[in-house]
Amino acid sequence: MPKRIIKKYMPDHITIREHKYLKIFGDLLHDGNLWHLNRRSVSGAFAVGFFCAFIPLPFQMVIAAAIAILVRVNLPIAVSLVWITNPFTMPPLFYGSYKVGAFAMGQEAVKID
């Protein structure tokens, strides 16, 4: 059932192939493994998408697409997950990441006055 719900809201592969920034990948987008929904593909896409979301550079979607094509994981999921960061959500996400990292390393986080 979750697979059907995800497929319902996923963009068509033709739409992604015709996206103006993703045309640079050309025939690489024809690989069927980039569009399948299975455990390996989706978990890998989450890893790629979240990794690229925390890179503070423009064109995160293109970077996520390139990595997804290289490791052959679900392309639409990897590309759409970078949208969790935008100019409004980046500061709280980066600060939260800093706090979690300081806690995990057993260090005291620097207080901002």
Q: Break the chain into its structural domains and give their ranges.
A: 2-85
Identify the pLDDT of residue 59: 86
HEC profile of 59-100: CHHHHHHHHHHHHCCCHHHHHHHHHHCCCCCHHHHHHHHHHH
Q: How far apart are CA 48 and CA 68, in angstroms?
A: 7
**Per-residue pLDDT for the chain (113 aa), expressed as one digit of tens each?**
577 777 777 777 677 667 777 777 777 777 777 777 888 889 999 999 999 999 888 888 889 999 999 999 998 899 999 999 888 988 899 899 999 999 999 998 887 76
CA neighbor of 63 nearest in space, from 74, 48, 46, 76: 48
User: If you search the block for the tokens 């996206």, which residue do you land on?
Assistant: 19
Category of 59 on φ-ψ map: left (φ > 0), alpha (ψ -120 to 50) or beta: left
